[in-house]
A and B are shown apart, each in its own frame.
Chain A
């Protein structure tokens, strides 16, 4: 393409910066609000920038609300769900990428179909099932449900990665005396590492952000995950916006960094090779 500074090029680049600003701006506003004082937040007229930078909001918020409980629930559930997805999707993805078997197509179609069923549409069925097992307000229910609804992505992504690894590499390892499982563990998985990392981060972030299921089955205060716990800040008249947004900043910044790390692989995984 042509290089050099032309008016058209300047317009393109400034357009791109403007769009970037539109997408980041709400989170910058979130940050500014999180360091304002309560008086300034409710001052009329309001301000664009904090006059006083009240960093202590980030300390006080841990006393003001059971944030630690929210963070603990979110961490336990997201990490466990991610491990469960890995444990279940690695063997399934490996097998469908290496073998043909009866009902293979049906299995893959079933996996794909689970993406059509969002937890939101099924929420009553989910609530009744969890109630039936007497698991309302338990981490276990939230872990299993989060894993189940993220399984499809894990299987599709990993199957794509496994398929791109030549089967001959494994066969060579097996000739050298490895079993099929050893070959998978020592040869294939290390090569598929970018895929594993992507699956891990994507599942983690998705469980970290899940709202509807947690809202419905986790009613006890000390077991709510972050997105649900945060809604309790929203009072009718006196929302503590500075604390609310200090907490959302704590919740958002790590996952944005994780997502940026896997940017390259994310799309390929989400569309599961169908783009090509």
Chain B
């Protein structure tokens, strides 16, 4: 995806550069070396430690490495707490990404129109994007608080509830509200990506269709939406990765509790390692997490048939 794009944007110069500026890898090293070093140090090294630890018998503090094959993976599979967490992770990822995209599409269309105050509406959308997710989760915890929260206050005044409802304390509602907060923080980025896509659609195509008598829904359905395909693809992939790896919302609002009732595989892996000290199962779950995200993204790319041209 990456290489193709960079060279495609400037086809003319690429051709010229190929002739006059092809250099050896060694002479590139002083320029790209520091970046390469940083990536290896910060990303590749932890990956190797994670994978190696998943095949050893070791505690978080312990330095003794004792190879024990796939025993950690067997323990993990035998851990009955894992399965509800896996099922919940599935709803978490697909529920949040689906609603984020479904809400962002009309929203991008809306803020692409001209109306007084449009700039302020766009600025409003930037708040949840720029603010720390930790802090956004805290304010939602407070709004949803049973006795002091705005939600119950408003619902009581409207006469919709008579007793305060503990939205976060009750596992049947808390997970839905966690998902809502995740959708809330995902929409701004997604909307802006789709907005950029809408803005790159040439105006004359839309005008031509309009002159030919197409309704605005037809224009959207037949012209704009197909042209949004790339933006939609990017937004969906980035959301899949972000939502799958999402940690602060659950950690701040419920810590995955009560028990494991609101955990996803990410918070479950964190708990296994840093609260229960079970490094073996935690690291094997970490590896499983990465395989899962690869499968999801790979499957999505295949489903949209983008693999052929873009990777």
- Taking a contact as CB atoms closer than 8 A, the residue among B38, B134, B150, B188 that contacts A209 in the complex is B134
A→B interface (CB under 8 Å):
1, 9, 12-13, 15-17, 19-21, 23-24, 26-27, 29-30, 33, 41-42, 44-48, 84, 87-89, 91-92, 94-105, 107-112, 114-118, 120-129, 144-145, 147-149, 151, 155-156, 159-160, 163-164, 166-167, 205, 208-209, 211-212, 215-216, 226-228, 230-231, 234, 241, 244-245, 248, 251-252, 255-256, 258-260, 263, 266-268, 270-276
Known pairs A209-B132, A248-B139; A271 contacts B234 (CB<8 A): yes
B→A interface (CB under 8 Å):
1-3, 5-6, 9-10, 13, 16-18, 21-25, 27-28, 30-32, 34-36, 38-39, 41-43, 45-50, 53, 60, 107, 110-111, 113-118, 120-136, 138-140, 142-143, 147-150, 153, 156, 184, 187-189, 192-193, 195-197, 200, 230-231, 234, 238, 241-242, 245-248, 251-252, 266, 269-270, 273-274, 279, 282-283, 286, 289-290, 293-294, 297
- Taking a contact as CB atoms closer than 8 A, the residue among B39, B118, B125, B187 that contacts A114 in the complex is B39
Known pairs A120-B266, A212-B247; A275 contacts B129 (CB<8 A): no
Known pairs A20-B120, A270-B189, A271-B196; A230 contacts B47 (CB<8 A): no
9 pairs of A and B residues whose beta carbons are closest in the complex: A148-B42, A125-B46, A20-B124, A95-B31, A259-B130, A118-B245, A209-B132, A125-B50, A125-B49
Asked if A17 contacts B117 (CB within 8 A), the reply is yes
Q: For residue B107, which residues in chain A have a CB less than 8 angstroms away from its CB?
A: 19
Asked if B247 contacts A91 (CB within 8 A), the reply is no
Q: For residue B49, which residues in chain A have a CB less than 8 angstroms away from its CB?
A: 124-125, 128-129
Asked if A48 contacts B150 (CB within 8 A), the reply is yes
Asked if B245 contacts A120 (CB within 8 A), the reply is yes
Q: A124-B46, A125-B283 are in contact. List 8 more A-B contacts (CB 8 A).
A: A33-B142, A46-B153, A102-B24, A108-B3, A111-B35, A114-B39, A124-B273, A211-B134
| Bound: A147/B140 CA distance, A | 30
- Taking a contact as CB atoms closer than 8 A, the residue among B16, B32, B140, B269 that contacts A95 in the complex is B32
Q: For residue A209, which residues in chain B have a CB less than 8 angstroms away from its CB?
A: 131-134
Known pairs A16-B111, A108-B2, A205-B130; A92 contacts B50 (CB<8 A): no
Closest-CB distance, A103 to chain B (whole angstroms): 5
Asked if B32 contacts A107 (CB within 8 A), the reply is yes
The listed residue with most B CB atoms (<10 A of its CB), out of A16, A84, A104, is A16
Asked if A129 contacts B127 (CB within 8 A), the reply is no
| Bound: A256/B126 CA distance, A | 7
Q: For residue B142, which residues in chain A have a CB less than 8 angstroms away from its CB?
A: 29-30, 33, 241, 245
Q: List 30 A-B contacts (CB under 8 A).
A: A15-B110, A16-B117, A26-B128, A84-B38, A87-B34, A88-B34, A91-B35, A99-B28, A100-B22, A101-B24, A102-B24, A110-B39, A112-B2, A121-B293, A122-B43, A122-B286, A125-B46, A148-B39, A155-B35, A160-B9, A205-B130, A209-B134, A211-B248, A227-B248, A234-B252, A251-B132, A252-B131, A252-B132, A260-B130, A275-B193
Asked if B126 contacts A273 (CB within 8 A), the reply is no
Q: For residue B18, which residues in chain A have a CB less than 8 angstroms away from its CB?
A: 100
Closest-CB distance, B51 to chain A (whole angstroms): 8
Q: For residue B110, which residues in chain A have a CB less than 8 angstroms away from its CB?
A: 12, 15-16, 19
Asked if A244 contacts B138 (CB within 8 A), the reply is yes
Known pairs A23-B124, A122-B50, A241-B142; A151 contacts B248 (CB<8 A): no
